[in-house]
A and B are shown apart, each in its own frame.
Chain A
Amino acid sequence: EERLVESGGDLVQPGGSLRLSCAASEFTFSSFEMNWVRQAPGKGLEWVSYISNDAKTKYYADSVKGRFTISRDNGKNSLSLQMNSLRAEDTGVYYCAREFARRFSYGRRAWFDTWGQGTLVTVSS
């Protein structure tokens, strides 16, 4: 069964940095686009960042652009999120999510079909 396991969450002071990791197993990691999605306490889901399977294309939510960097190591089946200049509003559970895409007769569609268990990031003094 495909599996994603996040790590690296911690308590960090405002302005600090943190690096999250996501270890993938039981599927061909290099074939899939990957994302980070976060959830503030008691709130809804917020997409954070995307990386293509070959790492050539990356996208970020406006709320983290310039502060967060997504990367991947296909040789190690690993996804990372480097978070700098952290703010209180970055607090939440961070999930890595695999993006699955399929071509239908009417076009390509994509969805998040596999999620990790999440890792908690708390930004507070």
Chain B
Amino acid sequence: DIQMTQSPSSLSAFVGDRVTITCRASQSINNYLNWYQQKPGKAPKLLIYAASSLQSGVPSRFSGSGSGTDFTLTITSLQPEDSATYHCQQSYTTPTFGQGTRLEI
């Protein structure tokens, strides 16, 4: 299985800040990388697919980049509702997820 490692595991930021979450794959996955947001007690919600494509309805302050083994999720102009756990997921082979990054605003 391809291992996905996210960093940091948790972070705190303020409203209006810019944050970056990193996801690293144990082998090259081209751009087979998706990002999800999950709030407590809720199902994950798709944010970014194919590494950099924004899902319909997701605010433009969310963006993704990367290819190969290293990927980033960037959130600009943080809002209170962005407080959540963020998961990366590779779809190159049998799906695997990162361990999650908890973002506190």
Contacts and interface: CB of A to CB of B under 8 A. Distances in A.
Contacts of A102: 50
Overall SS of chain A's interface? strand
Nearest to A6: B43
Contacts of A111: 34, 46, 49-50, 89, 91
Query: Which of the four size classes fits the interface of chain B?
Result: 20 to 34
Interface of B: 30-32, 34, 36, 42-46, 49-50, 55, 87, 89, 91, 94-100
Nearest to B34: A111
A22 B74 CA distance: 33
Contacts, number: 54
Interface stretch (A41-49, A69-77, A82-90): A41-49
B55 to A, nearest CB: 7
B88 to A, nearest CB: 10
A117 B87 CA distance: 17
Contacts of B30: 106-107
A118 B89 CA distance: 19
B45 A115 contact: yes
Given A45-B87, A59-B94, A104-B50, A113 B55 contact: yes
B99 A109 contact: no
A103 to B, nearest CB: 11
A46 B34 contact: no
Given A44-B99, A102-B50, A112-B46, 7 more contacts: A44-B97, A107-B30, A109-B31, A110-B91, A111-B49, A111-B50, A112-B89
A21 interface: no
